[in-house]
Amino acid sequence: MLSHASTLSDENLFAATIILRMLEEMEGSTTGQDYHGHLLGIHAFVNIGDQYMIPGSLSAASFWVGLRQEIYIAVITQQPVKVNLDHFMVDRSFEPADDYTWSNRAIIHLADVLNFCFGEDPPSSSHWDALNKASEKWSLSRPTSFNPFFYRERVPPSAFPEVWHGSSCHVGDQFTEQTDQGALMDLLKKTEADHARPTKAIQQQLMKAWGWIPDHDGSDG
C-alpha cells in the first residue's frame, strides 16, 4: 500500500503511522520484541521526497516526530539514522530563525553525529572537525532566548537545580554529576513502570557512557 503516491501524500495516514510506531515501542517493553514494522512506514513517508510536505503542516510535524523516533532507535541499536537527511525540511544553516527552527537544526546535527559514529563510511578526523565546528557555531549563533531566565542551585533532597526556560524547545540534557545521573536513572525506571515506555536500552547506554558499568565492546579504550 505504501508504494502508491496517493497513499504517501495522505498526511493523516502519516500521523497515524507515527502513533502506531509509538504504540509499537510501548508493546516492545512488555513483549521483549520490537519489530520496527511501523518505523519502515515512517521511512516510506519521509524518503519519498518533498512534493507532498508543506512547512507548518501536519505532515511536516510528523516528519520531525518520525525523525526523533528514528534517532531513538539509532541510539539504542547503534545504527545510522535511516531517514533521508537531504530532505527539504532539513536546515543546517545558521541564518536568523525562530527558536523551534534552531532546535530542529540541533536535532539534525545529532542525526549527523550518529551517522558519523555508526555509518558505513570510515570516520575521518576532517569529518569530525567539521561536525565539531558546526556544533560550536550553533552554540555561538543561537538566539539568546535559549539562555535560562531563572536559575537556582538545588536544595536537598532535590537532585536538580531549578532552571526556567521560556519554551520547551530550549531544553536539553546534560548530566555530569552522579547525583543527577542517579535521579535520571530513577526517572527512566519510573517511566517504564508507569507508562510502559521502553527505557532499559537507554539505561544501559547511559551507564556505559557514565562509566557505571564496563563497556564490553571495548570502546572505553
Give the pLDDT confidence of 9-29 residue by residue, as tens digits.
Answer: 566 776 777 777 666 765 655
Asked if pLDDT for residue 184 goes beyond 50, the answer is yes
Q: What is the pLDDT of residue 2?
A: 47
Find the mean pLDDT for residues 178-187. Answer: 83
pLDDT tier for residue 157 given thresholds of 50, 70 and 90: confident
Asked if pLDDT for residue 113 goes beyond 90, the answer is yes
Residue 152, phi then psi, degrees to nearest 5: -140, 135
Tell me if the pTM is above 0.75. no
Asked if pLDDT for residue 210 goes beyond 90, the answer is no
Asked if pLDDT for residue 107 goes beyond 70, the answer is yes
Give the C-alpha separation, 203 to 208, whole Å: 9
Asked if pLDDT for residue 216 goes beyond 70, the answer is no
Measured from the Cβ of residue 23, the count of other Cβ atoms closer than 10 Å reads: 11
Give Cβ neighbours of residue 187 (< 8 Å, ≥ 6 apart). none
Give the C-alpha separation, 152 to 167, whole Å: 18
Measured from the Cβ of residue 179, the count of other Cβ atoms closer than 10 Å reads: 13
Asked if pLDDT for residue 132 goes beyond 90, the answer is yes
| Domain boundaries of the chain, sorted by first residue | 1-82, 91-172, 175-213
Find the mean pLDDT for residues 94-111. Answer: 95
Find the mean pLDDT for residues 155-178. Answer: 80
The string of DSSP letters for 156-183 reads TT-SS-EEE-SSGGG------SHHHHHH
Give the C-alpha separation, 126 to 118, whole Å: 16
Which string of b and e fits 71-107 if b means at least 16 CB within 10 Å?
bebbbbeeebbbbbbebebbeeeeeeeebeebbbbbe
Give the C-alpha separation, 8 to 51, whole Å: 10
pLDDT tier for residue 46 given thresholds of 50, 70 and 90: low
Give the C-alpha separation, 13 to 204, whole Å: 34
